[in-house]
C-alpha cells in the first residue's frame, strides 16, 4: 500500500485566495483525520470522519475552513479566504475500523500564505 | 484542562549515548498514550502505544514507560544513532473517544 497520499506537498498562495488540500486515505481505513501543525501550537486535530461522515469538527478554527469526504478514498480541506495565520503544515491521517488510535499519517502539505 | 507537557523541549546527545524524554499529562479519563517519531518534513510515525494497564512497552531501542497514577510517561532511547534525530511527540487519547491531545514534542539531535 502506498500509505496516505496528500497533495500538493507545498502550496504558496496570496492572502484572500482559496486553497484546497487533498487526501487519499489508506484503502480499507474508515477513519480520516485532518491535523494542522505549527511551531507555536504543535499538532491540532481539525476534524475527523468515520465512514465518510464528519464526526467532530470542533477543532476547525472558523468558518473559513471546510472539509468534505465525498467517498471512502478522497477528502478535501478547503480554506476560503486564506490568511497569513493559516500558514502551517496540514496532515491527513487514516485508521482502520475499530482502531481509531492506530493512525497513519500522510507526508503533509506545507501551506504558506503571503 | 486536558494537557500534555513534554520535556525537555530540545536535547543534543552524542551518538551511542542513551537518553530519556518525559511526558506529563492531565487528560482524564485516559484511554491510551502513544509516542510518535516525526522526522523533518514527514508525518509522525507511531513508536509505541500503551493503555492504562501497561507500564512498559518496547520497540527495538525505544522503551516507553507509563505511570498512570502519577500521569507520567517516559521514552528511553538506548545506544542512540544519527537516524534518531527527530521530534518525539507524546499523545494521549481520551477514554471512549477519538480525540487526541498532543504534546508539543521534544526535538532530539544526535551528533557524531
CB pairs A-B closer than 8 Å = 40
The whole-angstrom separation of Cα A82 and Cα A67 is: 14
Contact B93 A101 (CB under 8 A): yes
Indicate if the pLDDT at residue B96 is higher than 90: no
Grid coordinates representing A48? 475527523
Grid coordinates representing B68? 498512570
Contact B43 A91 (CB under 8 A): yes
Q: What is the mean pLDDT of residues B30-45?
A: 92
pLDDT, one tens digit per residue, over A45-82 is: 999 999 999 998 988 988 999 999 999 999 999 999 99
Contact B102 A106 (CB under 8 A): no
Q: Looking at the DSSP assignment, which residues form a beta bridge with residue A40?
A: none
Q: What is the mean pLDDT of residues A21-47?
A: 93
Q: What is the mean pLDDT of residues B26-33?
A: 86
**Over pLDDT 70: what percentage of chain A?**
99
Grid coordinates representing A78? 478547503
pLDDT range class, residue A1, cuts 50, 70, 90: low
Q: What is the mean pLDDT of residues B18-34?
A: 92
Grid coordinates representing A114? 503571503
Mean residue pLDDT across chain A: 94
**Per-residue pLDDT, A101:** 74
pLDDT range class, residue B97, cuts 50, 70, 90: low
Indicate if the pLDDT at residue B99 is higher than 80: no
Pick A42's closest partner by Cβ from B42, B98, B105. Answer: B105
Indicate if the pLDDT at residue B68 is higher than 70: yes
Indicate if the pLDDT at residue B1 is higher than 70: yes
Contact A48 B45 (CB under 8 A): no
**Per-residue pLDDT, A3:** 94
Q: Give the pairing type, strands B10-14 and A31-38.
A: unpaired
Cβ(B51)–Cβ(B29) under 8 Å? no
Indicate if the pLDDT at residue A4 is higher than 90: yes
Cβ(B4)–Cβ(B91) under 8 Å? yes
**Per-residue pLDDT, A61:** 87
Q: What is the mean pLDDT of residues A1-21?
A: 94
Cβ(B107)–Cβ(A47) under 8 Å? no
B40-44: list long-range contacts, CB under 8 Å, 24+ apart.
Answer: B40/B86, B40/B87, B41/A107, B41/A108, B42/A107, B42/A108, B43/A4, B43/A91, B43/A93, B43/A105, B43/A106, B43/A107, B43/A108, B44/A43, B44/A91, B44/A105, B44/B89
The whole-angstrom separation of Cα B39 and Cα B45 is: 9
Pick B103's closest partner by Cβ from A42, A56, A93. Answer: A42
**Over pLDDT 90: what percentage of chain A?**
82
Q: What is the mean pLDDT of residues A24-31?
A: 95
**Over pLDDT 90: what percentage of chain B?**
76
Q: What are phi and psi of A21, to 5 degrees?
A: -105, 145
Q: What is the mean pLDDT of residues B72-91?
A: 97
Quote the minimal CA–CA distance from A77 to chain B in Å: 17
Indicate if the pLDDT at residue B2 is higher than 80: no
Contact B34 A101 (CB under 8 A): yes
A44: enclosing H helix or E strand: strand A42-50
Bigger pLDDT: B13 vs A100: B13
Amino acid at each position: 500500500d502506498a500509505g496516505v497520499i496528500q497533495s500538493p506537498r507545498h502550496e504558496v498562495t496570496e492572502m484572500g485566495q482559496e486553497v484546497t488540500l487533498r487526501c487519499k486515505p489508506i484503502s480499507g481505513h474508515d477513519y480520516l483525520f485532518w491535523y494542522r501543525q505549527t511551531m507555536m501550537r504543535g499538532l491540532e486535530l481539525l476534524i475527523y470522519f468515520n465512514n465518510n461522515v464528519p464526526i467532530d469538527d470542533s477543532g476547525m478554527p472558523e468558518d473559513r475552513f471546510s472539509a468534505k469526504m465525498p467517498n471512502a478514498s478522497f477528502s478535501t480541506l478547503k480554506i476560503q479566504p486564506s490568511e497569513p495565520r493559516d500558514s502551517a503544515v496540514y496532515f491527513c491521517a487514516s485508521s482502520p475500523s475499530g482502531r481509531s488510535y492506530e493512525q497513519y499519517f500522510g507526508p503533509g502539505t506545507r501551506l504558506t500564505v503571503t | 484542562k486536558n494537557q500534555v507537557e513534554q520535556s525537555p523541549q530540545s536535547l543534543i546527545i552524542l551518538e551511542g549515548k542513551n537518553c530519556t524524554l518525559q511526558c506529563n499529562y492531565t487528560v482524564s479519563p485516559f484511554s491510551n498514550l502513544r509516542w510518535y517519531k516525526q522526522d523533518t518534513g514527514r508525518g509522525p510515525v507511531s513508536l509505541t502505544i500503551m493503555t492504562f494497564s501497561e507500564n512498559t512497552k518496547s520497540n527495538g531501542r525505544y522503551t516507553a514507560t507509563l505511570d498512570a497514577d502519577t500521569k507520567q510517561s517516559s521514552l528511553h532511547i538506548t545506544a542512540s544513532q544519527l537516524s534518531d534525530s527527530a521530534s518525539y511527540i507524546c499523545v494521549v487519547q481520551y477514554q471512549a473517544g477519538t480525540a487526541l491531545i498532543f504534546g508539543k514534542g521534544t526535538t532530539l539531535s544526535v551528533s557524531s
